[in-house]
Structure 1
Protein backbone atom coordinates (compact mmCIF):
# COMPACT_ATOMS: atom_id res chain seq x y z
CA UNK A 1 0.00 0.00 0.00
CA UNK A 2 1.44 3.38 -1.04
CA UNK A 3 1.47 6.09 1.59
CA UNK A 4 0.71 9.68 0.56
CA UNK A 5 3.79 11.85 0.20
CA UNK A 6 4.51 13.99 3.28
CA UNK A 7 3.96 17.70 2.95
CA UNK A 8 1.95 17.37 -0.23
CA UNK A 9 -1.47 19.00 -0.38
CA UNK A 10 -4.12 16.78 -1.93
CA UNK A 11 -7.08 18.53 -3.50
CA UNK A 12 -7.78 21.93 -5.06
CA UNK A 13 -6.49 25.08 -3.32
CA UNK A 14 -9.34 27.47 -2.59
CA UNK A 15 -8.57 31.02 -1.50
CA UNK A 16 -11.25 32.36 0.78
CA UNK A 17 -12.22 35.89 -0.12
CA UNK A 18 -12.50 38.19 2.87
CA UNK A 19 -15.88 39.89 3.03
CA UNK A 20 -15.74 43.63 3.71
CA UNK A 21 -17.05 44.77 7.08
CA UNK A 22 -19.88 46.75 5.44
CA UNK A 23 -21.76 46.35 2.17
CA UNK A 24 -20.54 48.99 -0.25
CA UNK A 25 -21.46 50.15 -3.76
CA UNK A 26 -22.56 47.16 -5.93
CA UNK A 27 -22.90 44.87 -2.90
CA UNK A 28 -25.92 46.88 -1.72
CA UNK A 29 -28.77 44.99 -3.39
CA UNK A 30 -31.92 46.55 -1.92
CA UNK A 31 -34.28 48.62 -4.10
CA UNK A 32 -33.96 51.79 -2.02
CA UNK A 33 -31.84 53.28 0.77
CA UNK A 34 -32.04 56.14 3.23
CA UNK A 35 -29.12 58.52 2.62
CA UNK A 36 -27.61 60.50 5.49
CA UNK A 37 -24.45 62.55 5.81
CA UNK A 38 -22.89 65.94 5.22
CA UNK A 39 -22.74 66.01 1.43
CA UNK A 40 -26.34 64.92 0.60
CA UNK A 41 -29.95 65.89 1.14
CA UNK A 42 -31.18 63.39 3.72
CA UNK A 43 -33.96 61.19 2.33
CA UNK A 44 -34.94 57.89 0.72
CA UNK A 45 -33.44 57.29 -2.76
CA UNK A 46 -33.48 54.42 -5.25
CA UNK A 47 -30.22 52.50 -4.69
CA UNK A 48 -29.02 53.07 -8.30
CA UNK A 49 -29.43 56.85 -7.91
CA UNK A 50 -27.59 56.83 -4.53
CA UNK A 51 -24.77 54.79 -6.10
CA UNK A 52 -24.52 57.29 -8.99
CA UNK A 53 -24.40 60.21 -6.54
CA UNK A 54 -21.50 58.55 -4.71
CA UNK A 55 -19.70 57.81 -7.99
CA UNK A 56 -20.11 61.45 -9.15
CA UNK A 57 -18.39 62.61 -5.94
CA UNK A 58 -15.61 60.03 -6.30
CA UNK A 59 -16.76 58.36 -3.08
CA UNK A 60 -18.39 55.09 -1.94
CA UNK A 61 -21.96 54.29 -0.98
CA UNK A 62 -21.60 52.52 2.38
CA UNK A 63 -24.39 50.71 4.24
CA UNK A 64 -24.01 51.76 7.88
CA UNK A 65 -27.27 50.40 9.30
CA UNK A 66 -28.37 47.28 7.36
CA UNK A 67 -31.24 46.39 9.73
CA UNK A 68 -33.12 49.68 9.28
CA UNK A 69 -36.03 49.83 6.84
CA UNK A 70 -34.85 50.96 4.30
CA UNK A 71 -31.15 50.40 5.13
CA UNK A 72 -29.24 53.56 6.04
CA UNK A 73 -26.31 54.48 3.78
CA UNK A 74 -23.67 57.20 3.72
CA UNK A 75 -21.64 58.61 0.84
CA UNK A 76 -18.06 58.56 2.16
CA UNK A 77 -14.51 57.50 1.37
CA UNK A 78 -14.72 53.89 2.64
CA UNK A 79 -10.99 53.46 3.26
CA UNK A 80 -10.86 56.70 5.26
CA UNK A 81 -13.98 55.58 7.17
CA UNK A 82 -12.33 52.25 8.09
CA UNK A 83 -9.11 54.01 9.10
CA UNK A 84 -10.99 56.41 11.43
CA UNK A 85 -13.02 53.53 12.89
CA UNK A 86 -9.87 51.49 13.65
CA UNK A 87 -8.17 54.55 15.15
CA UNK A 88 -11.13 55.18 17.49
CA UNK A 89 -11.24 51.50 18.51
CA UNK A 90 -7.50 51.59 19.24
CA UNK A 91 -7.92 54.74 21.38
CA UNK A 92 -10.80 53.17 23.32
CA UNK A 93 -8.77 49.99 23.87
CA UNK A 94 -5.82 52.04 25.14
CA UNK A 95 -8.10 53.95 27.54
CA UNK A 96 -9.70 50.79 28.90
CA UNK A 97 -6.27 49.18 29.33
CA UNK A 98 -5.04 52.19 31.31
CA UNK A 99 -7.40 51.42 34.20
CA UNK A 100 -5.63 49.40 36.89
CA UNK A 101 -6.20 48.28 40.45
CA UNK A 102 -3.89 50.18 42.80
CA UNK A 103 -3.28 48.87 46.32
CA UNK A 104 -3.13 50.89 49.53
CA UNK A 105 -1.91 48.99 52.59
CA UNK A 106 -2.53 49.76 56.23
CA UNK A 107 -1.67 48.08 59.54
CA UNK A 108 -3.94 48.19 62.60
CA UNK A 109 -1.52 50.77 64.08
CA UNK A 110 -1.32 53.17 61.09
CA UNK A 111 -0.80 56.69 62.48
CA UNK A 112 -2.64 59.83 61.30
CA UNK A 113 0.25 61.21 59.24
CA UNK A 114 0.67 57.92 57.36
CA UNK A 115 -3.11 57.67 56.95
CA UNK A 116 -3.34 61.16 55.37
CA UNK A 117 -0.43 60.34 53.06
CA UNK A 118 -2.23 57.19 51.85
CA UNK A 119 -5.51 59.08 51.37
CA UNK A 120 -3.67 61.56 49.06
CA UNK A 121 -2.29 58.68 46.98
CA UNK A 122 -5.70 56.97 46.75
CA UNK A 123 -7.38 60.22 45.62
CA UNK A 124 -4.77 60.58 42.87
CA UNK A 125 -5.35 56.97 41.75
CA UNK A 126 -9.13 57.50 41.60
CA UNK A 127 -8.78 60.76 39.64
CA UNK A 128 -6.63 58.89 37.09
CA UNK A 129 -9.52 56.43 36.63
CA UNK A 130 -8.00 53.51 38.55
CA UNK A 131 -9.69 51.32 41.15
CA UNK A 132 -8.25 51.28 44.65
CA UNK A 133 -7.96 48.13 46.76
CA UNK A 134 -7.43 49.14 50.39
CA UNK A 135 -6.50 46.55 52.98
CA UNK A 136 -5.33 46.21 56.56
CA UNK A 137 -2.63 43.58 57.01
CA UNK A 138 -2.74 41.71 60.33
CA UNK A 139 0.47 40.03 61.53
CA UNK A 140 0.65 37.54 64.39
CA UNK A 141 -1.50 38.52 67.36
CA UNK A 142 -2.64 41.77 65.68
CA UNK A 143 -5.55 39.69 64.27
CA UNK A 144 -7.25 40.38 67.63
CA UNK A 145 -7.70 44.01 66.52
CA UNK A 146 -10.09 43.33 63.61
CA UNK A 147 -12.40 46.16 64.75
CA UNK A 148 -9.50 48.62 64.50
CA UNK A 149 -8.88 47.48 60.92
CA UNK A 150 -12.54 47.94 60.03
CA UNK A 151 -12.55 51.44 61.56
CA UNK A 152 -9.48 52.40 59.49
CA UNK A 153 -11.11 51.22 56.25
CA UNK A 154 -14.43 52.94 57.01
CA UNK A 155 -12.62 56.20 57.87
CA UNK A 156 -10.71 55.80 54.59
CA UNK A 157 -14.02 55.32 52.72
CA UNK A 158 -15.37 58.50 54.31
CA UNK A 159 -12.34 60.50 53.12
CA UNK A 160 -12.66 59.13 49.54
CA UNK A 161 -16.46 59.56 49.33
CA UNK A 162 -16.34 62.53 46.93
CA UNK A 163 -14.06 60.78 44.45
CA UNK A 164 -14.70 57.07 44.90
CA UNK A 165 -17.55 54.61 45.32
CA UNK A 166 -17.18 51.93 47.99
CA UNK A 167 -17.87 48.60 46.22
CA UNK A 168 -18.55 46.61 49.40
CA UNK A 169 -18.10 46.63 53.15
CA UNK A 170 -14.67 45.59 54.52
CA UNK A 171 -14.28 41.80 54.67
CA UNK A 172 -11.64 39.39 55.91
CA UNK A 173 -9.57 37.35 53.46
CA UNK A 174 -6.97 35.31 55.31
CA UNK A 175 -4.92 37.77 57.42
CA UNK A 176 -6.17 40.79 55.49
CA UNK A 177 -9.28 42.90 55.80
CA UNK A 178 -10.00 44.55 52.47
CA UNK A 179 -12.39 46.64 50.44
CA UNK A 180 -12.49 48.15 46.93
CA UNK A 181 -13.21 51.62 45.61
CA UNK A 182 -14.17 52.51 42.04
CA UNK A 183 -13.67 56.02 40.65
CA UNK A 184 -16.77 58.20 40.38
CA UNK A 185 -17.28 59.09 36.69
CA UNK A 186 -17.41 62.84 37.38
CA UNK A 187 -14.73 63.04 40.10
CA UNK A 188 -12.13 64.71 37.86
CA UNK A 189 -14.75 67.11 36.47
CA UNK A 190 -15.91 68.11 39.96
CA UNK A 191 -12.35 68.88 40.99
CA UNK A 192 -11.92 71.22 38.00
CA UNK A 193 -15.25 72.95 38.72
CA UNK A 194 -14.31 73.30 42.41
CA UNK A 195 -10.99 74.88 41.43
CA UNK A 196 -12.71 77.35 39.08
CA UNK A 197 -15.21 78.49 41.70
Structure 2
Protein backbone atom coordinates (compact mmCIF):
# COMPACT_ATOMS: atom_id res chain seq x y z
CA UNK A 1 0.00 0.00 0.00
CA UNK A 2 1.16 3.50 -0.77
CA UNK A 3 0.22 7.06 0.17
CA UNK A 4 -3.56 7.53 0.71
CA UNK A 5 -4.23 3.77 0.65
CA UNK A 6 -2.70 3.50 4.15
CA UNK A 7 -5.66 3.65 6.55
CA UNK A 8 -3.94 2.87 9.88
CA UNK A 9 -4.23 5.35 12.75
CA UNK A 10 -0.55 5.22 13.70
CA UNK A 11 2.50 3.96 11.83
CA UNK A 12 6.19 3.51 12.67
CA UNK A 13 7.94 5.82 10.22
CA UNK A 14 11.35 5.40 8.62
CA UNK A 15 12.72 8.46 6.87
CA UNK A 16 14.09 8.77 3.34
CA UNK A 17 17.68 8.32 4.54
CA UNK A 18 16.84 5.30 6.72
CA UNK A 19 16.63 6.89 10.19
CA UNK A 20 13.80 6.01 12.59
CA UNK A 21 11.32 8.87 12.99
CA UNK A 22 9.27 6.99 15.60
CA UNK A 23 5.53 6.35 15.79
CA UNK A 24 3.44 9.06 14.12
CA UNK A 25 -0.10 9.36 12.80
CA UNK A 26 -0.58 8.29 9.20
CA UNK A 27 -1.64 11.86 8.20
CA UNK A 28 1.56 13.29 9.64
CA UNK A 29 3.60 10.58 7.92
CA UNK A 30 1.89 11.41 4.60
CA UNK A 31 2.66 15.11 5.16
CA UNK A 32 6.37 14.30 5.76
CA UNK A 33 6.46 12.21 2.57
CA UNK A 34 4.77 14.97 0.53
CA UNK A 35 7.25 17.58 1.82
CA UNK A 36 10.13 15.36 0.74
CA UNK A 37 8.45 14.87 -2.67
CA UNK A 38 8.42 11.09 -2.17
CA UNK A 39 5.89 8.35 -1.48
CA UNK A 40 4.82 6.78 1.82
CA UNK A 41 5.05 2.99 1.40
CA UNK A 42 3.85 0.39 3.90
CA UNK A 43 6.71 -2.13 4.21
CA UNK A 44 5.60 -4.36 7.12
CA UNK A 45 1.79 -4.40 7.32
CA UNK A 46 1.65 -7.14 9.99
CA UNK A 47 3.81 -5.32 12.55
CA UNK A 48 2.26 -3.48 15.51
CA UNK A 49 2.12 -0.62 14.52
CA UNK A 50 2.68 -1.11 10.76
CA UNK A 51 6.04 0.05 9.42
CA UNK A 52 6.04 2.70 6.67
CA UNK A 53 8.97 4.20 4.81
CA UNK A 54 9.42 7.41 2.85
CA UNK A 55 10.84 6.38 -0.54
CA UNK A 56 10.46 6.91 -4.30
CA UNK A 57 7.93 4.16 -5.11
CA UNK A 58 8.79 3.89 -8.83
CA UNK A 59 12.47 3.40 -8.02
CA UNK A 60 11.55 0.90 -5.27
CA UNK A 61 9.47 -1.20 -7.69
CA UNK A 62 12.27 -1.10 -10.27
CA UNK A 63 14.80 -2.34 -7.68
CA UNK A 64 12.44 -5.16 -6.61
CA UNK A 65 12.00 -6.26 -10.24
CA UNK A 66 15.80 -6.24 -10.74
CA UNK A 67 16.31 -8.37 -7.60
CA UNK A 68 13.71 -10.91 -8.74
CA UNK A 69 15.24 -11.06 -12.23
CA UNK A 70 18.74 -11.64 -10.81
CA UNK A 71 17.46 -14.34 -8.45
CA UNK A 72 15.70 -16.07 -11.34
CA UNK A 73 18.87 -15.91 -13.44
CA UNK A 74 20.96 -17.53 -10.70
CA UNK A 75 18.58 -20.38 -9.87
CA UNK A 76 19.07 -23.68 -11.66
CA UNK A 77 16.14 -25.88 -12.59
CA UNK A 78 16.72 -29.61 -12.34
CA UNK A 79 14.88 -31.61 -14.98
CA UNK A 80 13.86 -35.23 -14.66
CA UNK A 81 14.91 -37.15 -17.78
CA UNK A 82 13.41 -40.58 -18.40
CA UNK A 83 15.07 -43.62 -19.94
CA UNK A 84 12.78 -46.53 -20.82
CA UNK A 85 13.99 -50.10 -21.04
CA UNK A 86 12.38 -53.46 -21.72
CA UNK A 87 13.22 -56.55 -19.63
CA UNK A 88 14.82 -58.40 -22.55
CA UNK A 89 17.36 -55.69 -23.44
CA UNK A 90 20.74 -56.74 -24.83
CA UNK A 91 24.10 -55.72 -23.32
CA UNK A 92 25.06 -53.22 -26.05
CA UNK A 93 21.66 -51.53 -25.94
CA UNK A 94 21.95 -51.31 -22.17
CA UNK A 95 25.40 -49.71 -22.48
CA UNK A 96 24.00 -47.13 -24.93
CA UNK A 97 21.21 -46.26 -22.49
CA UNK A 98 23.72 -45.99 -19.62
CA UNK A 99 25.87 -43.59 -21.68
CA UNK A 100 22.79 -41.45 -22.30
CA UNK A 101 22.09 -41.48 -18.55
CA UNK A 102 25.69 -40.40 -17.85
CA UNK A 103 25.25 -37.43 -20.22
CA UNK A 104 22.02 -36.39 -18.48
CA UNK A 105 23.66 -36.68 -15.06
CA UNK A 106 26.71 -34.69 -16.22
CA UNK A 107 24.39 -31.84 -17.22
CA UNK A 108 22.97 -31.83 -13.67
CA UNK A 109 19.62 -33.48 -14.43
CA UNK A 110 18.03 -36.35 -12.55
CA UNK A 111 17.37 -39.56 -14.47
CA UNK A 112 14.35 -41.82 -14.06
CA UNK A 113 15.00 -45.29 -15.38
CA UNK A 114 11.82 -47.20 -16.17
CA UNK A 115 11.67 -50.90 -16.94
CA UNK A 116 8.39 -51.47 -18.85
CA UNK A 117 6.63 -54.83 -18.96
CA UNK A 118 4.14 -55.95 -21.63
CA UNK A 119 1.95 -59.02 -21.77
CA UNK A 120 3.58 -62.16 -20.40
CA UNK A 121 6.61 -60.21 -19.22
CA UNK A 122 4.45 -59.20 -16.23
CA UNK A 123 4.82 -62.71 -14.81
CA UNK A 124 8.62 -62.35 -14.56
CA UNK A 125 8.91 -58.88 -12.99
CA UNK A 126 11.12 -60.00 -10.09
CA UNK A 127 13.54 -61.80 -12.41
CA UNK A 128 14.15 -58.56 -14.33
CA UNK A 129 14.88 -56.35 -11.30
CA UNK A 130 18.58 -57.17 -11.64
CA UNK A 131 18.75 -54.93 -14.75
CA UNK A 132 18.06 -51.84 -12.64
CA UNK A 133 20.53 -53.03 -9.99
CA UNK A 134 23.21 -53.43 -12.67
CA UNK A 135 22.57 -49.92 -13.97
CA UNK A 136 22.80 -48.45 -10.46
CA UNK A 137 26.04 -50.36 -9.87
CA UNK A 138 27.62 -49.31 -13.20
CA UNK A 139 26.67 -45.65 -12.69
CA UNK A 140 27.68 -45.60 -9.00
CA UNK A 141 30.80 -43.54 -9.78
CA UNK A 142 28.72 -40.62 -11.17
CA UNK A 143 25.26 -41.18 -9.66
CA UNK A 144 23.52 -42.05 -6.44
CA UNK A 145 20.14 -43.82 -6.20
CA UNK A 146 17.68 -41.19 -5.01
CA UNK A 147 14.59 -43.39 -5.20
CA UNK A 148 15.03 -47.17 -5.00
CA UNK A 149 13.47 -49.46 -7.64
CA UNK A 150 9.72 -49.66 -7.05
CA UNK A 151 6.90 -51.40 -8.91
CA UNK A 152 4.49 -48.85 -10.42
CA UNK A 153 1.74 -50.63 -12.31
CA UNK A 154 3.20 -52.28 -15.44
CA UNK A 155 6.70 -50.93 -14.80
CA UNK A 156 9.51 -50.69 -12.28
CA UNK A 157 11.10 -47.29 -11.85
CA UNK A 158 14.05 -45.78 -10.02
CA UNK A 159 15.50 -42.28 -9.90
CA UNK A 160 19.21 -41.47 -10.06
CA UNK A 161 20.75 -38.11 -9.11
CA UNK A 162 24.20 -36.70 -9.69
CA UNK A 163 26.78 -37.49 -7.01
CA UNK A 164 27.88 -34.36 -5.15
Q: Which of the residues 1, 5, 10 maps onto 1:32?
A: 10
Any residues of structure 2 matched to 1:72-91 within 5 Å, and which? 72-85=51-64, 88=68
Q: TM-score, normalised by structure 2?
A: 0.65
Alignment of 1:165 with 2:146, yes or no, is yes
Which residue of structure 2 aligns with residue 3 of structure 1? Answer: none
Write 1 or 2 for the structure with the bigger share of strand: 2
Asked if the contact 2:112/2:157 (under 8 Å) is kept, the reply is yes
Unaligned runs of 5+ in 1: 1-22, 191-197
Cα displacement (A) at 1:67? 1.7
Any residues of structure 2 matched to 1:1-197 within 5 Å, and which? 23-36=1-14, 39-42=17-20, 44-46=22-24, 47-85=26-64, 88=68, 100-108=79-87, 109-111=89-91, 113-124=95-106, 127-128=108-109, 131-139=110-118, 141-157=120-136, 159=140, 160-161=143-144, 165-166=146-147, 169-174=149-154, 176-180=155-159, 190=164
Cα displacement (A) at 1:171? 0.9
Q: TM-score, normalised by structure 1?
A: 0.56
Compare relative contact order (CA 8 Å, sep 6+) and give the higher one, 1 or 2: 2
**Superposed CA RMSD:** 3.7
Unaligned runs of 5+ in 2: none
